[in-house]
Copies of this chain bind each other. A is one copy, B any other.
Amino acid sequence: MVCGLIDLNTVNDDDTDEVSTSSSSSNASGSITVPASAPPPVSVGSGSDSTPVVCCLELWHACAGPLISLPKKGNAVVYCPQGHLEQLQSSGDCPTSGDCNLPPHVFCCVLDVKLHAEAGTDDVYAQVSLIQDPQLEQKWREGGRKVESAEDDNGVTEKSTTPHMFCKTLTASDTSTHGGFSVPRRAAEDCFPPLDYKQPRPSQELIAKDLHGTEWKFRHIYRGQPRRHLLTTGWSAFVNKKKLVCGDAVLFLRGDDGVLRLGIRRATQAKVASSLPTFCSLQMNDFANVVNSISRRTVFNVYYNPRGGSSECIVPYNRFQKSLSITFSPGMRFKMRLETEDSGDQRSTGTVSGVSDIDPARWPGSKWRCLTVRWDNVEVPRQNRVSPWEIERLGPVSEIGSFVSPISKRTRTGFPVLKDRTTLDLGESIRFHKVLQGQEIYGFYPSNNMRNQTSVGFGESLRFNRVLQGQEITSNGNLWSQPSRAFSSSSPSSVLRFPQAIGRVPDGYPVHYVDNVKAFNDQSRRVFVSPMKKLPEEPVSTAKNSCRLFGFSLTEGMEASRCPNEDLVHAKGPLGSCTNERVYPWCRSNDGCVQGL
């Protein structure tokens, strides 16, 4: 538990400030409980032990974000290889592994937890060393008794040191080449050494260490009218080296030892073209070892990516045991703990619509995502399958007929939907769901209706965050009109921090002005875009201050759906897939659509 965090990114930060993770690391105290019946942990089934462990526990947790929940040394856990594999495969270019003949639930003891950061990206991850625990499995088979554990699922909040720390999402100004980094006043006063305010322009040199221990030097100056804290010299080099774009966040942390540290929390899990062995390849390579090690009953490693949700495949035993003591049935109401940081306090409630194995052939009897559910709040697309331990029962089972979708009935110009599906009776909803499941479609609205109506294309070279209403974007690297935030472009070789969105419009593609765009990325790389006016076809202008984003049409084979409450559109394009979830056209570059640089 990291306290004292000033998070400047949330306004209604009721519990965003709360870091509700259990802190644990390789040097955490607590005796290691190796199951007596297990062989000595000699052979660790992973080749990544050479990666150095990060230097600062607090910094690691700060970078990982408030949602990370790591098991601890000695914990009894249940490992779901099915979930592990699913996440490995969803993370991109990993080859599909064949059958592995593992049980769906492997009862394990946590031997060690090591904190790492990727060299190229500074992405944090943890290496959890597990070993199969036959005693635990036997206990489960004997009736699923609870296990005595050092801490419970919602265990004791560990008091750790309270470092002075702040986290700021980088603005366009922060990441522009035009200037430095604007430090929030409270943050500067809290984390940086005091300045001599008697001077006209007090300044000092700051030295901060990143997760790898690398030192970065910054000039910290207090100037301007009104006065403010700025990091100038050295900041740009840091932004360039770390390939930061606006929307990413930096963290500064002053430890009790007085050492200043800084970390990164990227807006999207950057697919930085690091040719070093990446997290995924490392993991994939490791899954073969996992299979091997489990069959040999030796230690194996699972890599937690705190921002990718892979932690779900390791469940505390007691939570697993408790969740399966409930009988789930269709119609049961539940709530789930938030998964996204941005989602604030919205309703993460839903109704269980069915119980079934997700892959009866390969993983018979598996509890992994064995519940099909329907969410009350459809603005946030989510898996329509959850595992029992992810949810919490909400009161008694609701009657089938009493359920009313909270979706309101609205239709907007520019969004012609042939069939108005803003309300659904449950029967239809369930039928619809079944169809969707069969096709692996997760939307609420059939897609063909949307064809050729609304689109926006973000080339891959446009990494993006928030575009506000009325914003216009220029093709010039320096200018855009207000209000603008966080629009950036990058090419593989050099980071271009301002959009260069002028490009060729391929023949046959409609051209749009961006009128009212709201977008954000969440952990699942999902993007929502609000409606745009379609313009009459006209030649492309490259005039400054009138930039366009060039769309490509939604074509046959794409699915699209609309969220009436917010007039959000989300759609799936045929341009490739980056996760096992839906892929949005603007997640991928469309050759010739937006020409970077």
Contact = CB atoms under 8 A, between A and B. Distances in A.
A275 B274 CA distance: 9
3 contacts: A274-B275, A275-B275, A275-B276
Contacts of A274: 275
Nearest to A276: B275
Contacts of A276: 275
A442 to B, nearest CB: 34
Interface of A: 274-276
Nearest to A275: B275
- Number of this chain's copies in the assembly equals 2
Nearest to A493: B241
A237 to B, nearest CB: 11
Nearest to A120: B275
A274 B274 CA distance: 11
A275 B272 CA distance: 14
A274 B276 CA distance: 10
A24 to B, nearest CB: 32
A274 B275 CA distance: 9
A276 B274 CA distance: 10
A282 to B, nearest CB: 14
A442 B276 CA distance: 38
A63 B276 CA distance: 28
A198 B274 CA distance: 51
A438 B274 CA distance: 45
Contacts of A275: 274-276
Nearest to A277: B275
A168 to B, nearest CB: 26
A265 B545 CA distance: 46
A276 B277 CA distance: 10
A50 B544 CA distance: 44
A203 B275 CA distance: 40
A462 B275 CA distance: 26
**Among all A-B residue pairs, the 3 with the closest Cβ atoms:** A275-B275, A275-B276, A274-B275
A395 to B, nearest CB: 55
A303 to B, nearest CB: 20
